[in-house]
């Protein structure tokens, strides 16, 4: 197993890509801290599934945009497992609001969860990785970080672009012992997209070379690669996983 004996922290771990990643890690021998903010029931289900696979797991409530909550979360993780080897910064939000109606408060919340949250988790978990001279940090960005999607997603796109630069800077600062990489998914079947119309999603799927929307498990496989020693010479990189979307 590729993650035997490892301890992973997965933010936004109750659903979607985070859930798929947590379960994938457990299949490969890792214990997992499933970090959630509101979806307690779903997080506990993920924990139960991980335990059924023979690994330890715990669900921890944390708004990653709030520094004191992140500090408390880190204390709980170390108290439970005694160490941390892998951090997946997956927590993210989006507001489906027209540009003309977008508020400063929505901008601040989006940047707070998507970008500052990744910074805070890295800030308070990476010292344990550096101390043990081993660690993997994987940031979950978006293909929107490179091309944008339009004015109506400007704050989301900016936050995801920020994660690409955060990845490079963290890699430079935390090397040589901690590998920091990024995954930039395209359209994926997650709760974030469930309110979009069927026709809209079908049209978007046609813009991908593979002619379909991605599955959370397909993104989790790439995250697993970056979390494992298969990627020991990969750092500061962003892998776009979008099915050839154009």
Q: What is the pLDDT of residue 195?
A: 72
Q: What is the pLDDT of residue 55?
A: 98
Q: What is the pLDDT of residue 149?
A: 86
pLDDT along the chain (246 residues), means of 10: 98 98 98 98 98 98 98 98 98 95 97 98 98 98 92 96 98 98 96 81 93 97 98 98 95
Q: For residue 44, give every residue at least 6 positions away whose Cβ sits within 8 Å of its Cβ, in sequence order, or none.
A: 59
Long-range contacts of range 10-13, CB-CB < 8 Å, 24 or more positions apart? 10/34, 10/35, 10/88, 10/90, 11/35, 11/62, 11/64, 11/88, 11/89, 11/90, 11/91, 11/117, 11/121, 12/36, 12/90, 12/91, 12/92, 12/140, 13/43, 13/46, 13/88, 13/90
Three-class DSSP category at 11: strand
Helix/strand/coil percent split, the chain, to 5 = 50, 15, 30
Is residue 134 annotated as a catalytic residue, yes or no? no
- Sketch out the chain's domains with CATH numbers: 7-241 (3.40.50.720)
Which of 36, 124, 156, 245 is an active site residue? 156
Distances (CA, A) of 178 to 18, 62, 88, 126, 231: 21, 24, 13, 8, 12
Q: What is the pLDDT of residue 191?
A: 83
Cis peptide before 176 (omega within 30 of 0): yes
| Helix and strand counts by DSSP (H, E) for the chain | 9, 7
- Which residues pair with residue 57 across a beta bridge? 32
Q: What is the pLDDT of residue 121?
A: 98
Question: Rounded CA gap, 17 and 110, in Å?
Answer: 18
The answer, as to whether pTM is greater than 0.85, is yes
Q: What is the pLDDT of residue 140?
A: 98
Question: Rounded CA gap, 157 and 129, in Å?
Answer: 29
Q: What is the pLDDT of residue 115?
A: 98
């Amino acid at each position: 197993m590729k993650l035997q004996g490892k301890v992973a922290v997965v933010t936004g771990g109750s659903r979607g890509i985070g859930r798929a990643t947590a379960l994938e890690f457990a299949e490969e021998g890792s214990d997992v801290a499933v970090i959630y903010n509101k979806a307690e029931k779903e997080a506990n289900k993920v924990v139960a599934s991980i335990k059924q696979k023979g690994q330890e797991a715990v669900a921890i409530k944390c708004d990653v945009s709030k520094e004191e909550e992140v500090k408390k979360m880190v204390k709980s993780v170390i108290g439970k497992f005694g160490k941390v080897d892998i951090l997946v910064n997956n927590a993210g939000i989006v507001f489906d609001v027209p540009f003309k109606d977008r508020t400063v408060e929505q901008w601040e919340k989006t940047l707070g969860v998507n970008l500052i949250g990744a910074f805070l988790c890295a800030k308070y978990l990476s010292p344990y990785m550096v101390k043990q001279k081993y660690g993997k940090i994987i940031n979950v960005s978006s293909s929107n970080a490179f091309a944008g999607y339009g004015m109506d997603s400007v704050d989301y796109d900016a936050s995801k672009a920020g994660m690409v630069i955060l990845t490079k800077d963290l890699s430079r600062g935390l090397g040589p012992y901690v590998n920091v990489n990024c995954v930039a998914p395209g359209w994926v079947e997650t709760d974030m997209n469930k309110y979009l119309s069927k026709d809209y999603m079908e049209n978007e799927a046609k813009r991908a070379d593979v002619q379909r929307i991605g599955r959370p498990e397909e993104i989790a496989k790439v995250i697993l690669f970056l979390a494992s020693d298969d990627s020991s010479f990969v750092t500061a990189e962003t892998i776009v996983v979008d099915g050839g979307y154009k």
